[in-house]
A and B are shown apart, each in its own frame.
Chain A
Amino acid sequence: MFRNNYDNDSVTFSPQGRIFQVEYAAEAVKQGSVVVGIASKTHAVLVAIKRNAEELSSYQKKLFPIDEHTGIAIAGLTSDARVLSNFMKQQCLGHRLSYGRNMPVRSLVDQIGSKAQINTQHYGKRPYGVGLLVAGVDEQGPHLFEFQPSGMTEEMQAFAIGARSQMARTYLEKNLSEFASCGREELVRHGLKALKESLVQDRELTVENTSVGIVGVGKAKDGSTKVEPFKVYDGQDVNAWIDSVADDKEAATAEGETMEVDDE
């Protein structure tokens, strides 16, 4: 069972220069169900697959609002995510109190990055077992950031983390050039299509297991820019989106005239 002698704590390098505890924490992220994020010029969306531990239980939430202008999607240990989420909420509130504005998303993400890195360099501490996608808008427009338990943070145009997320990333890479100019609805549909790529056989998107979170910049009446607050959509609210990316519709649009249509 033991992989080697160098994985008992997060302060000891292996002779190959690796820190196994941090790598194991990254594995915890891959155990979580998949979440996808995409940013355009006007919006940033997060979409996620929710899991229920058993038939009788409810589905575990995957998307959380942090502040008016920011939200996160989590993959990994939910309880670790709650610690980070509470911290981020406090930072945003503190920033709003001190400066009277929305906290710039980059400085927020930098703060959790620093917080997580400390856990990888102190004896007796454990890295967070969760990865985040942070979507938000600030004076510079919409942003999407990736956060890993190692403390690494990176700005992304589109990304997916969690179980089988490679399939979703492949979809995102293939369609990358379209995202920047996408509107709100189009961006959500891209997100859901990427999500579907990651689903195991026989599973599909349902109103129970799908979550959508949207944040964006809109125009106020006087022409100035205004934040469209981060909002999570669940249940029946996501029905129309799921229908619009349903397989038969996809096939119809993709194959067009070549497909035989049965009309009785």
Chain B
Amino acid sequence: MDHRPQAWGRPRDDVYGAYDGSYLQSGGPKTATQSPVVTGTSVVAIKYKDGVVIAADNLASYGSLARFTDVKRLRVFLGTSVVGFGGDVSDMQWLDRHLNELAIDESYDDEPSPSSLLSASPNKGHGKLNAANLHVYLQKLMYRRRNDFDPLWNQLLIAGLDAAGKPHLSSVDLRGTAFTSPSLATGFGAALAQPIMRRHAPTEEAAAALTREEAVGVVQECMKVLYYRDARSLDRYSIAVVTKEGVELKEDEQLERQSWAFAERIKGYGTQTV
């Protein structure tokens, strides 16, 4: 007999065989994303006089494979803000569901009340969480996930208005790094589109002088340059204009007036002989 107290009351090993401890563990160690899988490329956005223009193409790549060509990477929040997602698409979908929940909760908190008869501002019956609030929230969320060593593998651009009704454009990445700027671009766009946008809006003042047509034009130009030079991009894209009137989102735009003439002059890649 086994006289050790820790063996008392247990099935005898010599009768039933040694206990198999693996039944207690459900499935190995905790895992977290080590690298993104299905990814979206750049998001570009620029502020102008009355709001923000933001765009992203409709491609989700699986490595270098153009796997899904109709993925909408701009999401509207409460009809007043737009979030543009670069990076992992499954994390984007999780964030999208999370933001929908937040929007529903916010709308419940904002039910029309008897005091809306009294209040100075008319109650529109939807939430009041603006883009600046959303930016703070997403920054906290991303930073927390990074500290859990389970980051959401995205870089986000948040476009909308702040509490004072001024245009708001900001960025959060998978580490929780947060900043604002008159123009912003994620991924490859940070290298290829940002210099173009900075020519038009180097400062807040310059951005505040841009018209809507100019801002849309700059963003379309950036999308074209990105399609020329970013091998993970697509000529179908979504573009949204956010103003105090709301969000105008077009999700199936085609890049116009492409000219690949410059390509002939590019040498040094692939199988061509220089």
By a beta-carbon cutoff of 8 Å, the part of chain A in contact with chain B is: 39-42, 97-101, 104, 106-107, 110, 138-144, 155, 157, 180, 217, 222, 224-225
Contact = CB atoms under 8 A, between A and B. Distances in A.
Nearest to B109: A107
A141 B121 contact: yes
Contacts of A138: 128
Contacts of A143: 113, 115
A142 B121 contact: no
Interface of B: 109-111, 113-116, 118-121, 123, 128-129, 132-133, 135-137, 140, 163-165
A140 B119 contact: yes
Contact of A100 (B110, B113, B121, B132): B132
A100 B78 CA distance: 17
A99 B109 contact: no
A147 to B, nearest CB: 15
A2 to B, nearest CB: 41
Contact of B133 (A39, A41, A100, A180): A100
A100 B120 contact: no
A100 B137 CA distance: 8
8 interchain residue pairs of minimum CB distance: A141-B119, A100-B136, A139-B128, A107-B109, A99-B133, A224-B164, A140-B119, A141-B120
A140 B109 contact: no
Contact of A142 (B111, B115, B140): B115
A141 B128 contact: no
A106 B110 CA distance: 8
B118 A104 contact: no
A110 B111 CA distance: 12
A7 to B, nearest CB: 34
Given A99-B129, A140-B123, A140-B128, A157 B110 contact: no
Contacts, number: 69
B116 to A, nearest CB: 6
A184 to B, nearest CB: 14
25 contacts: A39-B115, A41-B118, A41-B120, A98-B136, A98-B137, A98-B140, A99-B136, A99-B137, A100-B132, A100-B133, A100-B135, A100-B137, A101-B133, A104-B110, A106-B113, A138-B128, A139-B163, A140-B113, A140-B121, A141-B118, A141-B121, A155-B114, A157-B114, A157-B115, A157-B118
Contacts of A217: 120
Given A139-B128, A222-B164, 19 more contacts: A41-B118, A41-B120, A98-B137, A99-B136, A100-B132, A100-B136, A101-B133, A101-B163, A104-B109, A104-B110, A104-B128, A106-B109, A107-B109, A140-B119, A141-B115, A142-B119, A144-B115, A217-B120, A225-B120
Given A107-B109, A140-B128, A224 B116 contact: no
A186 to B, nearest CB: 15
Contacts of B116: 140
A210 B161 CA distance: 43
For B110, B119, B120, B165, the residue with the greatest tally of chain A CB atoms inside 10 Å of its CB is B119
Contacts of B113: 106, 140, 143, 155
B59 to A, nearest CB: 33
Contacts of B119: 41, 140-142
A90 B23 CA distance: 43
A97 B140 contact: yes
A92 B207 CA distance: 35
Contacts of B135: 100
A139 B136 contact: no
Contacts of A157: 114-115, 118
Contacts of A99: 129, 133, 136-137
Nearest to A99: B133
A40 B164 contact: no
A98 B110 CA distance: 18
A144 B116 CA distance: 12
Contacts of B114: 155, 157
Nearest to B165: A224
A141 B122 CA distance: 9
A110 B128 CA distance: 17
Contacts of A180: 118
A101 B116 CA distance: 20
A139 B133 CA distance: 13
